[in-house]
Chains A and B, each alone.
Chain A
Amino acid sequence: MGAPALAPAANAGADDLALRLDGVTVTFDTDHGLLTALQDISLSVRSGEFLTMLGPSGCGKSTLLRTVADLLPVSGGTVSVIGRPASEARRARQISFVFQDATLMPWLSVIDNIRLPLEVGRGNGAIIEAPVPAEELLAMVGLKGRERALPHELSGGMRQRVAIARALICHPKILLMDEPFGALDEIKRDQLNVELLRIWQETGTTILFVTHSIPEAVFLGQRVLMLAANPGRVREVVDIDLPYPRDLALRDQPEFIERAAHLRQVLETC
């Protein structure tokens, strides 16, 4: 398997929680009055779990992810990441975020982009210790030999690989991904799905993955959190009891199609 630096936490017991939400409500002040983006969300995510999140537009998937990342304040309820408030987990570099845009610095080389998390944040109390060597991450995302390239010299898929490598450099306990492959074509998206599963198994990190795509949600997740809109609330949590490692051929199997069909039915009522 991967190098020791990437090995999963050895003592990640079953009752180890990476994330716990209790009655989380998020409201926004808009021009048209108070908007409830999330209402009374309660959820537990085991350490090392892969949870995908699916729902119609405006159901608050991204809002939920941003709440966990301490990018948005909650209006009610509590968020606890690795047993502490989200802001503390953020400063301890236990939370990483991968956006739909790769959000690379266009003037930095691939390797400098990956190392950005080591360069900033100390003034605000960030704790940065024993990072994964950037070269190792580069090999893991399949970009060995491109360390000096600038982002504009890479394809969209490659840029997103760099963003994933950057997100992993500080051994995050929880990786939040907001439609990271949403802007890619289907072939690249499939390829990156397979690679993401491999990276997940190598690193043992917890992943929360927001997507619009039913096949992607089923293919990646151990569970799918389905949200309904107006206001955003939990509609159903669906277990995907298909064994890993999963490969793309799985998508043509009846057990896969059956689960996807179930999600589609639930989604229609969201």
Chain B
Amino acid sequence: MAVVDQQEAAADTTAARREKVKQRKAKTWRDRWPPLAAVVGILVLWELIVVGFEVPTFIAPGPGEVVATMVERWPMLMMNLWPTALESLAGFALGNTIAVLIAVGFVHSRLAERAFYPIAVFINTIPIIAIAPILVLIFGNGFTPKIIIAALICFFPTLVNVTRGLKAVNPATLELMHVLSASRWEVLMRVRLPSSLPFLFAALKIASTTCVIGAIVGEWIGSNVGLGALIIEATYNFRSPLLYATVILAASLAVVLFTIVTLLERRLIRWKVDAAAV
């Protein structure tokens, strides 16, 4: 009797679990269908307008044409994606590393902060489009100027955020470290850097998309490979479907980088900063 009861109970729980999974799936579907429907709707509308008003392809191609070009020219698109991806990543790494190092310097020396912060602000105010030709003149046509432009565009948000993050430590925590006779290095490694991680990742999310912009802008000037060069070429030759395909690819690159940063953040930051806990 008891055995039967147990079996029944077990069956009940599996049934309940299955029901739960079903509910969760239904919920995911409920969350996902509106944006999906919106995207499909916009694409259909776009195609209808292009076909209905007989818009010439060179002015605005329909989504069908863009997809067809993408499939047809895939190897060529990939050949141009890699240089841009490499420049973006190298610029991302370079710009953010320098920004973090300078932020650490700022936190440890008021003098350094007072001396160099205005310069950092000034560099940030120069439009990236305006500085690109200068860098191309100095560094030539290779990867270097593109990497530097991508690095420059990442640099400032990270510098500001990480400086703030390194300083946003509870004063009592610093007092604790003093009572423990901790050195400045120990305070940096065990308190300041870990507590600045959420600030760093906020900046890295911005940088993950802007570094692609930097690389592309760099490629606009005197370059014959890369998505930026392809955009210029496609525009001048009125190859609009190719232009659209390139733009979609560039956006996808940024989305991939953004997703990687977000996943990394989720792995690294498992704690919650709540005012009473720090």
Chain B, 259-274, CB within 8 A of any chain A CB: 269-274
Q: How far is the CA of A48 from the CA of B178 in the complex (A)?
A: 24
B19: interface (CB < 8 Å): no
Q: How far is the CA of A159 from the CA of B274 in the complex (A)?
A: 12
B170 contact from A66, A101, A150, Cβ within 8 A = A101
A124 contact from B170, B181, B269, Cβ within 8 A = B181
A71 contact from B175, B185, B190, B274, Cβ within 8 A = B175
A103 contact from B172, B181, B274, Cβ within 8 A = B172
Q: How far is the CA of A112 from the CA of B274 in the complex (A)?
A: 19
- Contacts A101-B170, A107-B194: A152 and B183 contacting too (C-beta < 8 A)? no
Contact with A along B160-191 (1 / 0, CB 8 A): 00000000001011011111111101100011
Q: Residues of B contacting A102 with CB < 8 Å?
A: 276-277
A95: interface (CB < 8 Å): yes
Would you call A120 and B270 a contact (CB within 8 A)?
A: no
Question: What residue in chain A is nearest B176 (Cβ atoms)?
Answer: A103
Q: How far is the CA of A70 from the CA of B181 in the complex (A)?
A: 10
Chain A, 80-119, CB within 8 A of any chain B CB: 90-91, 95-97, 99-107, 116-117, 119
B190 contact from A66, A105, A152, A183, Cβ within 8 A = A105
Would you call A106 and B273 a contact (CB within 8 A)?
A: yes
Question: What residue in chain A is nearest B197 (Cβ atoms)?
Answer: A107
B55: interface (CB < 8 Å): no
Interface size class of chain B, counting residues whose CB lies under 8 Å from the partner chain: 20 to 34
A254: interface (CB < 8 Å): no
Q: Residues of B contacting A73 with CB < 8 Å?
A: none
Question: What residue in chain B is nearest A117 (Cβ atoms)?
Answer: B180
Contact with B along A111-147 (1 / 0, CB 8 A): 0000011011101111000000000000000000000
Q: Residues of A contacting B190 with CB < 8 Å?
A: 105, 116, 119-120
Interface size class of chain A, counting residues whose CB lies under 8 Å from the partner chain: 20 to 34
Q: Residues of A contacting B276 with CB < 8 Å?
A: 101-102, 156, 159, 183
Q: How far is the CA of A194 from the CA of B77 in the complex (A)?
A: 72
Closest beta carbon of chain A to B237's beta carbon, Å? 54
Question: What residue in chain B is nearest A119 (Cβ atoms)?
Answer: B190
Would you call A120 and B180 a contact (CB within 8 A)?
A: yes
Q: Residues of A contacting B273 with CB < 8 Å?
A: 106, 152
Q: How far is the CA of A90 from the CA of B278 in the complex (A)?
A: 23
User: What secondary structure prevails in chain A residues at the interface with B?
Assistant: loop
Would you call B277 and A151 a contact (CB within 8 A)?
A: yes
Q: Residues of B contacting A123 with CB < 8 Å?
A: 183, 185-186
Question: What residue in chain A is nearest B185 (Cβ atoms)?
Answer: A123
Q: How far is the CA of A154 from the CA of B175 in the complex (A)?
A: 23
A-B contact pairs, 27 of them (CB 8 A): A66-B175, A70-B179, A71-B179, A97-B175, A97-B179, A99-B172, A101-B276, A102-B277, A103-B170, A103-B172, A103-B176, A104-B277, A105-B173, A106-B271, A106-B273, A107-B269, A107-B271, A116-B180, A120-B181, A120-B182, A120-B183, A123-B183, A123-B186, A126-B180, A151-B277, A152-B274, A159-B276
Would you call B179 and A95 a contact (CB within 8 A)?
A: yes
A220: interface (CB < 8 Å): no
A260: interface (CB < 8 Å): no
Knowing that A107-B270, A116-B180, A159-B276 are A-B contacts, what are 16 other residue pairs whose CB atoms are under 8 Å apart, sorted by A's residue number? A70-B178, A90-B181, A97-B176, A101-B276, A103-B175, A104-B277, A105-B173, A106-B277, A120-B177, A120-B182, A120-B183, A126-B181, A151-B271, A152-B273, A159-B277, A183-B276
Closest beta carbon of chain B to A182's beta carbon, Å? 12
A69: interface (CB < 8 Å): yes
B272 contact from A90, A96, A106, Cβ within 8 A = A106
Q: Residues of A contacting B172 with CB < 8 Å?
A: 99-101, 103
Interface centre among A71, A120, A123, A124 (most CB of B within 10 A): A120
Q: How far is the CA of A151 from the CA of B182 in the complex (A)?
A: 22
